[in-house]
Amino acid sequence: MSLTSTTPRPLIAGNWKMNGLSAALDEARAVAAGLDRRPAAARVALFPPATLLHRLAEAVEGSFVLVGGQDCHAQAKGAHTGDVSAEMIADAGGTLVIVGHSERRTDHGETCARVAAKAQAAIDAGLEPIICVGESLAQREAGEAVAFVVDQIRNSLPASLTGKAFNVAYEPLWAIGTGRVASVDNIVEMHAAIRAELIARLGDQGATVPILYGGSVKPDNAREILAAPEVGGALVGGASLKAKDFLAIIEAA
Minimum distance of ligand 13P from residue 149's CB (angstroms) = 15
Active site residue 251: no
- C-alpha radius of gyration, the chain, whole number: 17
Sequence-ordered list of residues with C-beta below 8 angstroms from that of 133, at least 6 positions apart, any chain: 100, 149, 152, 153, 156, 168, 169, 170, 171, 194
CB-nearer residue toward ligand 13P: 209 or 225:
225
At 203, the amino acid letter reads G
Q: Residues 87, 103, 135, 171: which is the catalytic one?
A: 171
DSSP structure string for 68-132 = EES---SSSSSS-TT---HHHHHHTT--EEEES-HHHHHHS---HHHHHHHHHHHHHTT-EEEEE
Minimum distance of ligand 13P from residue 82's CB (angstroms) = 21
Minimum distance of ligand 13P from residue 237's CB (angstroms) = 2
Of all residues in this chain, which one has the CB nearest to ligand 13P in the complex?
Answer: 237
CB-nearer residue toward ligand 13P: 59 or 234:
234
Minimum distance of ligand 13P from residue 180's CB (angstroms) = 9
| Burial (CB count within 10 angstroms: exposed 0-12, middle 13-18, buried 19+), residue 95 | middle
Q: Residues 27, 101, 197, 230: which is the catalytic one?
A: 101
Active site residue 27: no
Residues binding ligand 13P (CB under 6 A): 15, 101, 171, 176-177, 214-217, 235-239
CB-nearer residue toward ligand 13P: 88 or 249:
249
CB-nearer residue toward ligand 13P: 24 or 202:
24
Name the residues annotated as catalytic.
101, 171
